[in-house]
Structure 1
Amino acid sequence: MQSQANVRQQRAGQAQVRARQMRDGTVFKAMMLAMLALALVMAQSVVAFAKPESLAPLAEKISPSVVNITTSTVVEGRTGPRGIVPEGSPFEDFFREFQDRNNGGDGEGQRPRRSSALGSGFVISEDGFVVTNNHVIEGADEITIEFFSGEELKAEVIGTDPNTDIALLKVEAETPLPFVKFGDSNAARVGDWVIAMGNPLGQGFSVSAGIVSARNRALSGTYDDYIQTDAAINRGNSGGPLFNMDGDVIGVNTAILSPNGGSIGIGFSMASNVVTRVVDQLKEFGETRRGWLGVRIQDVTQDVADAMGLASATGALITDVPDGPAKEAGLLTGDVILSFDGVEVADTRALVRQVGNSPVGANVRVTVMREGKSQTIKVALGRREDANGATSGDEDTPDQQSEPETKDLLGLTLSPLTDAIRGEMGLDADMMGLAVTAVDEGSEAFEKGLRTGDVITEAGQQKVTSISELEARVDAAKDAGRKSLLLLVRRAGDPRFVALTLG
């Protein structure tokens, strides 16, 4: 009997445990459901925060600072129909007579005519400074600024910068003007919401919205730093602002990528961190004043890095040092610039932008890799705008008068330069090196762009003027365990380094 009582007690205890577990499981499920519901509410709140229900309040706030720009230009040109008959055609005389009759027969077909163009811009100060694109106002005789209120004022050009396609204008208003301020374009992230405003296709003030599609885009300019956006940008939007959600300008709408001239969701705005530096200089000097190092450079590719024994394919390889600050400081062809003014150099584009953003006359430290060793050289920067007439600073080397010899090496047929060959190739009298007289089309040299008429002036970062010197450089590279040899190749005077694999 006692054992049956114990069994009943054990069963009752087990039942209580199961009941308690079921209650606990129900509570746990209820807690999980509650937490899930809370998470959904929070997610909806984040989405609502990221994308406002309406952009109208922001648009109303910033619209008064955006302007339409109309330019007028007097151009020389015909007022009648242009010729469509090829020169020398038997119908040419007939067509000319027809055109002369159409233009009165007195040469009035060449009368000047007035052309107009439309663009956008934005006010950056209450005293009337306006930013737009240089191509909007370039060559204009008269510039009219139309404000959101409908008021129109004439503008004068304070300064322009074709390199970044930025122009600074000024209007004189009787009362302070509404304006916007620049934001930090470096803080813009891919996926952030943006607003583009302007005068697309001459339709008047217009707003479009999108996101930052990409950062740090380059189109064709040396100092390019474009923000790519899918906000609708069309003809007439040029020079207008790209706003972030705080109402700050983070870009100036400049270009679109389109097969048909209309927006396909690929637009480009010059980053505000580039624009602000340009605007400040235009406001102060009426022109830009960029730093100038005075070197020709190319990117360090992996094969170039291997040929030079570098740890990584970073930095900027100097291909030429014409007269200028770098030459005076002692930088040499073949140096690899690793850092500039304390900032590591990733590639040539980064170096060009950093040098351009440096003050003219600044003394900066340039760290280079030379013959496997790192050294730092102090350089006093010049002014980029004064350097356009700089000439090459190549050293003179005695001419080689030996009989020409030809040899096939590295997929190239090579011959030392002589006066006769220089004359045939149109080279300067002081050019020294090896002429490429033929290239094997199945070789790596051909694949990497070497062609007949190129001149090899260095191999392994040492000058070469004979076949034997080049062979010695090849042997030295092999003895050092190098997989490739670095050649300095000149074409029409322009130098570049090419690394060719050693067989």
Structure 2
Amino acid sequence: MPSLKSYLPTLAALALLSQSLMVRAELPDFTDLVEQASPAVVNISTRQNLPERALTSQPSMPDLEGLPPMLREFFERNLPQMPRTPPGGQREEQSLGSGFIISADGYVLTNNHVVANADEIIVRLSDRSELQAKLIGADPRTDVALLKVEGKGLPTVKLGKSEDLKVGAWVLAIGSPFGFDHSVTAGIVSAKGRSLPNENYVPFIQTDVAINPGNSGGPLFNLDGEVVGINSQIFTRSGGFMGLSFAIPITVAMDVANQLKSGGKVSRGWLGVVIQEVNKDLAESFGLERPAGALVAQVLEGGPADQGGLRVGDVILSLDGKSIIMSADLPHLVGGLKPGAKASLDVVREGSRKKLQLTIGALPEDGVNVPGSDAAGAERSSNRLGVSVVELTDAQKKSLDLKGGVVIKEVLNGPAALIGLRPGDIITHLNNQAIDSVNTFSQVARKLPRNRSVSMRVLREDRASFITFKLAE
């Protein structure tokens, strides 16, 4: 009778096969999803007519005549193609992207940057038929554009709820990277609610789905075949995919699309504040248990926050019961509210919790600029911070919309130099106390605690922020 030892290789092989089958069973099968969703995904190309004068700075195509046939073929294949210049001195510049049909009568969603400044927009369907599209409206702040093509009974995508998406969930993208139509890539959700530089109103979905130029504007699907986002941006150092892709949540995109469809423009909520992140030192200086919330560094006069009683130095912890963990959470929540809506804020002010009720305003189309001015003055005060400060003039206070503050005239060796203060910086608050004069500044600076985080509000080039420092023993 064979020994048990003789069966061990067979048992090991069966175990490996079983494990392989289990892994294979756990991996999703995207074939049905792609088959059902692909017809509603489109390729978008644009043409932009540029004046002849725009050609003057463009490099010209080298003359290949006279070269041996083999060399001429090599250069023609490898040199970049120059834009075509049609008769009349106009150049046609082309771009390429993706999109998807959201209604059977021809409404198409894509990115604003795909169709920006286009003179002609062409939508190519999965059957390779081409339709000319009309731009219904675009919103650069969210990078969403709504197009319309003429048609009936067109294939459409199913729309999901991006808020139900979970980190770690499988997602799939269909688009036209580098012009390769209906390319399919898959990955997982890496994070939600991501904020990107200069993108204050979109809580991006971060994925590791391979996205490249040409994927922009294309759909991001969940495993149920529902669109949960619009692939919009990638983080790259090489120009290609590096594992960090960002999609606009479909909930945000559809809110924008519905507003563009009904009114041609988008209105979003606005508080009229400048905020900053609360780090460990700022949390300590404001008496918070942990770093969280949005620190109000500036309140614009006459804005919704000003009228609602919000003050500089308040730390906003929640809006309508939704926690503010990172400061970037606040613009996402406020931007999603309609102008005129009532909002409830939980704030920490001078170590105590308060609840404020205010009315959300409408974000100005061109933003709000706070006027600036060069600091000047006569009376000076030196102190152990290592700065020399002077009074603000009445004209400067008026132009900067300030009720008080002092101007740094000179930075000496000391804590001020170490934390990066410069001549011309305006100090409006020190250790959670408003500074209305040089005398007040000197008194507060004299009583600063040692070996504990101290906050200071500084206005530099029309932008306010809180910084922290510690005075050693």
Q: TM-score range by the shorter chain?
A: 0.7 to 0.9
Q: Hey, what's the Cα distance between the residues in 1 that align with 2:113 and 2:401?
A: 42
Alignment of 1:417-456 (within 5 A): 417=392, 432-440=404-412, 443-456=414-427
Pick which of 64-73 and 214-223 moved more. 214-223
Partner of 1:123: 101
Displacement of 1:444 in angstroms is 4.4
Alignment of 1:18-37 (within 5 A): none
Q: Hey, what's the Cα distance between the residues in 2 that align with 1:388 and 1:80?
A: 34
RMSD between superposed Cα atoms in Å:
3.5
Partner of 1:91: none
Q: Hey, what's the Cα distance between the residues in 2 that align with 1:136 and 1:341?
A: 35
Alignment of 1:176-255 (within 5 A): 176-220=153-197, 221-255=199-233
Q: Hey, what's the Cα distance between the residues in 1 that align with 2:376 and 2:436?
A: 8
Cα deviation code 1:81-136 (max 9, x no counterpart): 6389xxxxxxxxxxxxxxxxxxxxxxx99933222211110011212111100001
Alignment of 1:252-331 (within 5 A): 252-322=230-300, 323-331=302-310
Q: Is there any run of 5+ residues in structure 1 with no aligned partner, and where?
A: 1-25, 27-33, 85-107, 394-398
Partner SS for 2:39: helix
Structure 1 residues 273 and 404: alpha-carbon distance in aligned structure 2, compared to 1, 3 A threshold: same
Q: Hey, what's the Cα distance between the residues in 1 that align with 2:326 and 2:168?
A: 26
The alignment-based identity, stated in percent, is 39
Structure 1 residues 392 and 351: alpha-carbon distance in aligned structure 2, compared to 1, 3 A threshold: farther
1:340 paired residue among 300, 313, 319: 319
Aligned length: 433
Q: Hey, what's the Cα distance between the residues in 1 that align with 2:185 and 2:334?
A: 36
Is 2:275–2:296's contact at 8 Å kept on the other side of the alignment? yes
TM-score, with structure 1 as normaliser: 0.76
Q: Hey, what's the Cα distance between the residues in 1 that align with 2:54 and 2:337?
A: 49
Displacement of 1:254 in angstroms is 1.3
Q: Who wins on radius of gyration, i.e. which is larger?
A: 1
Structure in which a larger fraction of residues adopt helix:
1
Cα deviation code 1:344-400 (max 9, x no counterpart): 22232111111111122111112222222222221111111357246579xxxxx99
Partner SS for 1:297: strand
1:75 paired residue among 35, 43, 50: 50
Cα deviation code 1:277-308 (max 9, x no counterpart): 22232233322221111111112222122222
1:350 paired residue among 310, 329, 342: 329
Aligned residue identity for 2:183: S
Alignment of 1:355-370 (within 5 A): 355-370=334-349
Q: Hey, what's the Cα distance between the residues in 2 that align with 1:378 and 1:44?
A: 58
Cα deviation code 1:448-473 (max 9, x no counterpart): 33222211122233332444312322
Partner SS for 2:364: helix
Is 1:417–1:465's contact at 8 Å kept on the other side of the alignment? no
Q: Hey, what's the Cα distance between the residues in 1 that align with 2:33 and 2:39?
A: 11
Is 2:415–2:471's contact at 8 Å kept on the other side of the alignment? no
Cα deviation code 1:379-437 (max 9, x no counterpart): 111111357246579xxxxx998x522414323333334589x79xxx86978432223
Partner of 1:486: 455
Structure 1 residues 230 and 186: alpha-carbon distance in aligned structure 2, compared to 1, 3 A threshold: same
Pick which of 284-293 and 405-414 moved more. 405-414
Q: Is there any run of 5+ residues in structure 2 with no aligned partner, and where?
A: 5-10, 60-85
Partner SS for 1:385: coil
Partner SS for 1:264: coil
Cα deviation code 1:224-245 (max 9, x no counterpart): 3333333332211111112222
Alignment of 1:400-411 (within 5 A): 404-411=379-386
Structure 1 residues 415 and 391: alpha-carbon distance in aligned structure 2, compared to 1, 3 A threshold: closer
Cα deviation code 1:9-44 (max 9, x no counterpart): xxxxxxxxxxxxxxxxx9xxxxxxx9xx89995x65
Structure 1 residues 440 and 187: alpha-carbon distance in aligned structure 2, compared to 1, 3 A threshold: farther
1:62 paired residue among 25, 37, 42: 37
TM-score, with structure 2 as normaliser: 0.81
Aligned residue identity for 2:390: S
Displacement of 1:309 in angstroms is 2.2
Aligned residue identity for 2:119: D
Is 1:319–1:496's contact at 8 Å kept on the other side of the alignment? yes
Structure 1 residues 214 and 50: alpha-carbon distance in aligned structure 2, compared to 1, 3 A threshold: farther
